Amino acid sequence: MTKSIKWCNIYQQKKYFKNDLEFICKIADEFLAKNKDKSNFIELNIIMSKLTFKSEYCRKYVMFSRMIFEGKLINAQMKSRLYEYNIPNEGFTFIFDEFCDSKIILNFFAEQFIYQITDKINIESLVHKNFKSFDDLKQYGINNYMIKLISKYDEFLSEYLCSNLECLNNLHKKIEGLEEKWELYEQSIYEEMFDKVFQECSLPDSPFSYMEILCYFGKKYNFLVVLKSCFDMSDEIIKFNLDLFAVDENNLLELSYFNRIKKIVLNALKYSQTDDYCEDDIKQPNKEKIIKFIPKKSKLD
């Protein structure tokens, strides 16, 4: 067989020359050196970066592809100043307008944009905050969740992903990997919370007993089962601590400690919406805020 490959067939023909990457790279480099078509040049670099992945030949193609992406990203940022404010924007639309005839290029840029977005997010923490269990996430739909998440940063990109789900493969695998670590993560959150509460209760002027206030919040926020498991506590001991716990609402020191510990507990339990995106943000459509009169409550509520 004569070793002759057109650039557009290199990726498809790799099975015939899988043991001869050097030859494929030679043909590709010859085309890249002579090529004057921008789209063809970018496409071939993308194809070669994937074809030579983890080989000695991949570095230059990955570097070129990365440089192309960085250049276009800067261009998109200049056109869309909204990138500076970390709010929904249309950055991907500029890429689509320029390369709408090349799915290879669009998919490459979509994957890179997804990485840029999710690299700045603690995906594990966010998923746990949005869902009580991994089964809840699967029922909601991992693809639906990913697209909804991306839409918070780039609405046009999320629309493109709806019909090009293969671009989400890497993120999908990352999220799927959370299933086997789900319980360990939840356990670590509680352990960190217990440690912080212990530190507060260990301060010289702390008015509260560590176990008493933990039992109080455990009952209030339904994690007594976790307390029983972590500290090997019986129902009698829990009831004993609950009976002893009390807060003087007129004592500023007690209120100060109580509120600090309450904040620790709420942050750990994800009741406090401290992240940019909470469960309602991801799952529900935007709704207008309704101002309601709320009766005055106890200082402990």
Q: What is the pTM of this model?
A: 0.66
Higher model confidence: residue 248 or residue 32?
248
Would you say residue 59 has pLDDT above 60?
Answer: yes
Residue 248 domain flag:
yes
Short-list 68, 191, 52, 176, CA closest to 124: 176
Backbone dihedral angles phi then psi of residue 45, each to the nearest 5 degrees: -60, -40
Contact 253, 205 (CB under 8 A): yes
Short-list 2, 37, 33, CA closest to 25: 33
Q: Let me know whether 210 and 139 are in one domain.
A: no
Q: Let me know whether 187 and 270 are in one domain.
A: yes
Contact 88, 157 (CB under 8 A): no
Q: Let me know whether 198 and 172 are in one domain.
A: no
Q: Let me know whether 190 and 264 are in one domain.
A: yes
Q: What pLDDT sits at residue 298? A: 52
User: 87-96, 116-125, 179-188: which range is least confident on average?
Assistant: 87-96
Would you say residue 25 has pLDDT above 80?
Answer: no
Q: Let me know whether 189 and 256 are in one domain.
A: yes
Would you say residue 35 has pLDDT above 50?
Answer: yes
Residue 114 domain flag:
yes
Would you say residue 200 has pLDDT above 90?
Answer: yes
Mean of the per-residue pLDDT values of the chain: 79
Of 122, 154, 177, the last residue of a domain is 177
Short-list 109, 214, 213, CA closest to 167: 109
270: left (phi over 0), alpha (psi -120 to 50) or beta: left
Rounded to an integer, the average pLDDT of 96-103 is: 88
Of 147, 177, 207, the last residue of a domain is 177
Residue 135 domain flag:
yes
Tens of pLDDT, residue by residue over 223-252, are 998 899 889 899 999 999 999 999 998 999
Q: Let me know whether 248 and 225 are in one domain.
A: yes
Q: What pLDDT sits at residue 16? A: 54
Of 177, 198, 218, the last residue of a domain is 177
Q: Let me know whether 146 and 130 are in one domain.
A: yes
Q: Let me know whether 110 and 125 are in one domain.
A: yes
Would you say residue 114 has pLDDT above 70?
Answer: yes
Residue 222 domain flag:
yes
Strand partners of residue 89: 154
Tens of pLDDT, residue by residue over 250-262, are 999 999 999 999 9
Q: Which domain holds residue 247?
A: 182-274
Residue 246 domain flag:
yes
Task: Domain count for the chain, please give it.
Answer: 2
Q: What pLDDT sits at residue 213? A: 95
Q: Let me know whether 210 and 266 are in one domain.
A: yes
Contact 218, 262 (CB under 8 A): no
Residue 170 domain flag:
yes
Contact 17, 23 (CB under 8 A): yes
Q: Let me know whether 166 and 247 are in one domain.
A: no
Would you say residue 84 has pLDDT above 60?
Answer: no
Residues 6 or more apart in contact with residue 149 via CB below 8 angstroms: 118, 121, 126, 277, 282
Q: Let me know whether 122 and 202 are in one domain.
A: no
Residue with tokens 């909204």: 82
Tens of pLDDT, residue by residue over 158-176, are 999 999 999 999 999 999 9
Rounded to an integer, the average pLDDT of 262-270 is: 88
Rounded to an integer, the average pLDDT of 55-82 is: 72
The confidence band for 276, taking pLDDT boundaries of 50, 70 and 90, is very low
Higher model confidence: residue 60 or residue 111?
111
Distance CA 1, CA 13 (A): 13
User: 2-11, 64-73, 169-178, 236-245: which range is least confident on average?
Assistant: 2-11
The highest-confidence range among 30-39, 76-85, 180-189, 275-284, by mean pLDDT, is 180-189
Q: What pLDDT sits at residue 30? A: 77
